[in-house]
Structure 1
């Protein structure tokens, strides 16, 4: 699943191509149309397809932001404004192209589900192989409570202070540390891949209860989370499965991962172990992580 670095790269990739573009129409795939006809609302959530089309038509994109693992595309139409909120799910991808044929990989080209046509003729395309992603139109961010509940962005000035305060809360201090740092109310955008890496680099066992961590360990873990997320951004994200940026390119952070998916610890040579923590499969070294 794309995490903060991957979503940040999608945001940066879209910016030069969609800012200032005016939406004149939206088209959905037969798969999405069939899903909505049966009340399942694949991909587009919260509105009927026709209502969504009517809502966004005529709006101009004036900004794109990232909040945790969400993309927020800001829209404006005279005095009216709104947001397109996008979560990529397991395999979602955005492409800014002149035609569908410009999407180089067939697996994305064959799973196009939403097409925004701009006044310029350019297309903004959402493709999703597994269809776990979601797209919403919001007049106000407060209309979608999960986005309001997100904790600090790791690169914010006060993020460390807020992170440490969250770890002191009773609802978190009895839980395994890995489960806690994957909760985006504690720190935004740190999912299974980057949590695994940060814990390994910190020498902290993913099952360790938060209450059993000294302050110095908590501070060190925060710094490793920030460092590994920044490394992920610098490396173009992790393309372990279906992640691609808006140019169809894979990232290379997967080649730098020291623990995620590894069978042998790179530090001591011991066989790694696995456990399900917070609903996610976790790799760790019982010798190096305490």
Structure 2
């Protein structure tokens, strides 16, 4: 699943290419249309296919921003501003191309679900292999309450005090620390990959309870999360499986990971172990991480 660094990379590349452009045409895949006809929600949430096409066509993309793992497109049409909110899910990707055929990687080309034509030779395409991603057209954030529950950006000054305050709550004290730092209500944008890396660097077992960590350990762990997120942004994110940037290129952070997916600890060469925490496979070194 794309995490904060991957989403940040997409936003940084999209901004200079599509901000200020007008969506001239919208094409939605048969998969989405058939899903809607069957009464199911697939990628386009809260609107029927025809309504989505009608409303989005003619919208000008004023601004693109990242909030946690979400992409916010501020759009305007007939002097009315709205938000087109996107979550990449497990395998979503945006492509900025001259023609849809320029999405050459077969697994993405087969799953181009929303195509936005911005000009004669200019397309913004959302592809999603597993179809867990979503697009929501909102008048404001209050129309989708989960957006209001996100923790502060990890780089914000208030993020650390917020994290410590949450960790002190009774309902989190007996939870595994990894489950807590992957919770977007507590730490914004930190998923399985970067939680694994931060815990390894701080020598903390992913299953250790929050109550077993001192305030100083929690502070150092949070600072490590920020450091690893910052490093990943600089290296274009991690392309473990399906992440691509808008040019179809993979990131390189996966070559710098020390624990995620590893069979042996790079420090002591002990065989790593795995544990399912919060539904995710957690790699750790039983010798180094306590």
Q: Into which bin does the TM-score normalised by the smaller protein fall? A: over 0.9
Q: Please, which runs of 5 or more residues in structure 1 have no aligned partner? A: none
Q: Secondary structure at the match of 1:260?
A: coil
Counterpart position of 2:69: 69
- 5+ residue gaps, structure 2: none
What corresponds to 1:243 in structure 2? 243
> In the alignment, does 2:186 pair up with 1:158?
no
Determine helix, strand or coil for the equivalent of 1:85: strand
Question: Aligned partners of 1:146 and 1:18: how far apart in 2?
Answer: 27
Q: Secondary structure at the match of 2:45?
A: coil
8 Å CA contact 2:99–2:121 kept in 1: the answer is: no
Matched residue count: 290
Distance 1:175 1:273 in 2: 20
TM-score (norm. length: structure 1): 0.97
Q: Deviations over 1:223-253 (max 9, x none)?
A: 1000000111111000010100001100011
Q: Distance in 1 between matches of 2:2 and 2:241?
A: 10
Look up the SS of the partner of 1:44 in the other structure: strand
Checking the alignment, whether the CA contact within 8 Å between 1:152 and 1:163 is kept in structure 2 is no
- Is 1:111 the counterpart of 2:116? The answer is no
Partner deviation per Cα, 1:41-84 (whole Å, 9 max, x = no partner): 21111111111122222221111011111111111124311011
* Structure 2 partner of 1:188: 188
Q: What secondary structure does 2:264 align onto?
A: coil
What SS does the corresponding residue of 2:197 show, helix, strand or coil? helix
Q: Residue 210 of structure 1 aligns with which residue?
A: 210
> Cα offset for 1:119?
4.8
Matches within 5 A, 1:228-239: 228-239=228-239
Mapped to 2, the partners of 1:134 and 1:78 lie a distance apart of 25
Q: Secondary structure at the match of 1:84?
A: strand
2:224 match: 224
When structure 1 is superposed on structure 2, of 52-61 and 62-71 the one drifting more is 52-61
- 2:271 corresponds to 1:275: no
Paired residues for 1:66-145 under 5 Å? 66-119=66-119, 121-145=121-145
8 Å contact 1:21–1:120 — kept in the other structure? no
SS at match of 1:130: coil
Deviation at 1:165, TM superposition (A): 1.0
Q: Kindly report the root-mean-square deviation, in angstroms, between the aligned alpha carbons of the 2 structures.
A: 1.1
Cα deviation code 1:92-124 (max 9, x no counterpart): 110111201222312212211101122565211
CA distance in structure 2 between the aligned counterparts of 1:101 and 1:49, rounded to whole angstroms: 23
Contact 1:64–1:71, Cα closer than 8 Å, also in 2: yes
Matched position secondary structure for 1:21: coil
CA deviations 1:2-31 (Å, max 9, x no partner) are 000000001111111110011122111111
